């Protein structure tokens, strides 16, 4: 079973994404901000990360930069799931190493289709 880490400061958003992914056959871990995600990844191996952009403690861009600096995370897919749709923010995400960008509110079927595309 593929494991996905969802990083979002909104509990309700994490619950919605988790529900969608579990229905799609994924195992799910959750974190409320980037630092919590890094802490969880010290003891867990995931196949993909979905992160929000704007979060307290550590935002999504900083999280991606931290992850991409780790050899084990260089090729893992990382998707941004955020309300931000601005081109400048997308460029920042891409420059940091984001694999893709999904704007909230998300379509469950499209989210699962995106995961199917980016997972090897």
Residue reference for tokens 């992850």: 67
Q: How is residue 69 written in tokens? A: 């600096």
* pLDDT attached to residue 5: 97
Class of domain 3-114: alpha beta
On whether the pTM is more than 0.85, the answer is yes
pLDDT value of position 32: 96
Question: Alpha helix (H) ranges present in the chain?
Answer: 11-23, 34-41, 60-68, 87-96, 108-118
Which position has the higher pLDDT, 25 or 120?
25
Residues 68-109 pLDDT 10s: 999 989 899 999 988 876 777 788 888 899 998 888 888 999
Q: What is the pLDDT of residue 85?
A: 66
State the Cα–Cα distance between residues 114 and 14, nearest whole angstrom: 17
> Domain-by-domain residue ranges, the chain?
3-114
Q: Give per-residue pLDDT as tens, 4-63.
A: 999 999 999 999 999 999 999 999 999 999 999 999 999 999 999 999 998 999 999 999
pLDDT at 89: 79
pLDDT for 26 equals: 97
């Amino acid at each position: 079973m593929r494991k996905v880490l969802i990083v979002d400061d909104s509990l309700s958003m994490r619950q919605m994404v988790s529900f969608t992914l579990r229905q799609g056959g994924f195992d799910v871990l959750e974190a409320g901000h980037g630092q919590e995600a890094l802490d969880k990844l010290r003891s867990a191996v995931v196949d993909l990360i979905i992160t929000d952009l704007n979060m307290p403690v550590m935002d999504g861009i900083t999280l991606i930069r931290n992850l991409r600096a780790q050899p084990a995370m260089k090729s893992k897919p990382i998707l941004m799931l955020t309300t931000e749709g601005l081109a400048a923010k997308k460029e920042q995400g891409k420059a940091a190493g984001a694999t893709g960008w999904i704007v909230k509110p998300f379509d469950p079927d499209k989210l699962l289709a995106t995961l199917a595309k980016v997972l090897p």
